[in-house]
Chain A
Amino acid sequence: MKRAGKLVLSLLALAAAAQDSDQRLGSYRVLNAFELGHRSVFVSGSRQMYGASLNYDNGLRLLDGNLRLHSGGGQGRWIDEMVLTTFGAGGDPYQASSLRLEKNRFYRYDLGFRIVNYSNRLLSLSGGEHRQNTERIFQNHDLTLFPQRRLQILLGFDRLNQNGPALSSENVGVLRDDAFPRDRFFAFADDVRRLNNTWRWGVNLTLLGAKLSFLRGWDNYKEDTRHSLPTVETTGQVPQRFRRDDPVHGRTPFTRLNIHSDANRRFSLNGRFVYTGGERNFVLDETAGGPQATRQTYVLGLAKRTQATGDWTLALQPSDRWAVSNTTALNQTRISGDSAFVHLRLPAIPTDPGRDEYFFSLLAIRLLTNSTDVNFRPSKTLGFYGGYHYSIRRVQNREIFEEFGGRPDGVPLYSFENVTHSGIGGVRLRPVAPLTLLANVEYGRAGLPFTPLSERRYHAETAKVQLKHKAWLLSGSFKSFYNRNAVPPVIAALEGVASLHDYRSRQYSASLAWTPRRRFTADFSYAKLHLDTASGILNFPVPGQPRPATRRSLYLSSLHHGHANGRVELHNSVTIFAGYSIVKDTAGGRAALFGIAPSYPNLALDQNDLVNAYPLSFQSPRARLAWKLHKQVSWNAGWQYYRYREKFFDAQNYHAHVSYTSFRWSF
């Protein structure tokens, strides 16, 4: 809040200084506009849901600010250009400011400053036991020295804070310990404290026509979140006392090198090498106490990750009609970590005497990709492109558990190899200047994908059309993606179960923008995003039955989105804006309501299958009025209404009126 206040004061001072000299401030030209007003909010229904999706509150705000300063002849003493923008300062949950300072040929400085107040107190995750009301503050500083020279020096600093209260949950149960039954879990309070600082420096160098970019940086991460149990005195509640500290500190150094040259149109190359290290030191100190016993757990360890990435691209353009490029990329990630685990129980029991253990885990991923793309343009109105992409990925995993003084136990080194082939193709057509048509297809096959959701046998199609004619802009697009990932028949036969993940998405959208004159603009759009997936899942294990039952889970979503905006200026002094947007998920539509799976010939629904659908609607009409009281001052009023409705339950429904009134001063 203090920071926001200072920002407001700084802006006002700058604005006042600028006003004294009209549009000139010394040798500088000044453009300035800022809007100060009051936001009012009225919410009825679920305040939690409102907080999660909007979170605006009442109060005085600097709703918008824009200050631009340019040296008249481009020869300012220290600054040639200054651009300051800000909005939401003073308490909005979403605030941002940016500043650019530049002196031609000597330096350029960019600052980004953002605050996001995030609230999620919904019941829909973990029964409301995972809540957050945190504030994130982002700072990004970038300084470039000699920005128009062959040698540029780059310096940067980023800072990210996250603070605030949150809830989390844990199952404290231990196998064969009646004092801590395994089916008990509870929520505890977090005091979230996370901090990231990133420093970096680098150079951009142009040498012999090649561009070299080097960047070296360090990211330091610190988390000192403390967890404790809200006061619980209920007899028999397990646990009655709980405290946990698990600080994590670490850093991620990174080095990035890029050399490219594309000034020569006939031949260009591009190479990148990135090495990212990373480690986190951690300690966990946890005490849980119940009416019958106390457990203490200490864990100490170090997690490491190294990631090395290299790319090499060669591009040839033998003529203006042809272009060919080939890229080879290799990425290798190795994540390893160990932790020493000490577990005490008082009083000790024979089934759980306390353990000292050591864990080691390794996850290594190597991904090699090669892609070739060809671009052919036989004429100005027609173009084609195509490509073939090949990826091979190896995932290796090992976990070792060793009881101190005991025999090492664990799993062997698993290795998993996944090869993907995909082809893409596209056509561009511009039969007349204002009309553009694009169509793309992609077809892919993968062997042994990593998860059932991964792409295995897939194809995607995209088509777009855009027509620009005078004041009209008409756009339309279609996208579809279909992926079928079925477990190999051999495994299915062996296991006696079938697994299938069918994913189908289709998106249709169209928009129309009409700007007949400066005083009047209107735009409309409609989109339908359809998604249905069918998965074989193994669930509902029933005691006494030899194996859990296999069921199918069907998810249906059919989202309709529409928006309309209109803006009109009346008599040079009044501007009216009105708009409306709606998102409505009709789930699977009428077919789903009657239990008919849409065109899955091998997946006819039966009564044991799960059908996931969550129909809801979220709509928002809005209006704004700007009335110019003076050539430099206008009065503004705005109103936006939000209505959120779920079809099956009403506990999270809400409607909200968010309005503001403000004065805007500009010159």
Chain B
Amino acid sequence: MPALLDARGLRKTYEGRVLLEGVDLRLERGTVTTVGGPSGGGKTTLLRILGLLAEPDGGQMLLDGTDVRTLVPHHFRRRISLVPQAPAMFPGTVLDNVRSGPRLANRDLDESTARELIVRAGLEPQFLGQDARALSGGEKLRVAVARALALRPEAWLLDEPTAALDDERATVLVRLLQELAAEGSPVLVVTHDARVLEQLTARRLELVDGQLVENAPGRKTS
């Protein structure tokens, strides 16, 4: 079976700096992969390329064996969720935000489903009516996860998802990521967080000098 998302030879240079130099990455169904490495080393750029928000200078990406360049970009993005480190909230309540993804595809999401989704993302149900843009960074992150859950994506890309979370919330999120993988979605997490690395059963990679390298088990990536 082909990997759900298969990146081959990704290259990216930004302002004269080589960020990615022939990166190969296979995201298999049901697996969790973490990517560490020095900050400013291109990890976010890699996620943006995989989420189709940025274009690589070279290389190829396959979704389920199909060249991504032959797919309509917004159809691709509906299938692959990218959760950035500091997600932007849309105007309105948490409920409006959770409904935004389905709404873009002309589907409605009922309130009880939205409530289940925010609880699954680690938020209390009473958040549903709150102004999303007035939330803390950690709360916004969890709304963004619920927002993505509403689309039932086939793969997850997350950028430092636990940076604004305390230990308890971080554990809840790690558990959710493990569940999502168990349900069959590949999960890719860019992280330096020792709490995540300890708790997640994952393939560990590091992005160093534009190359993804396998990290020896037990070695800290931070």
Do these two chains really belong together in a complex?
no
Residues of B within 8 A of A (CB): none
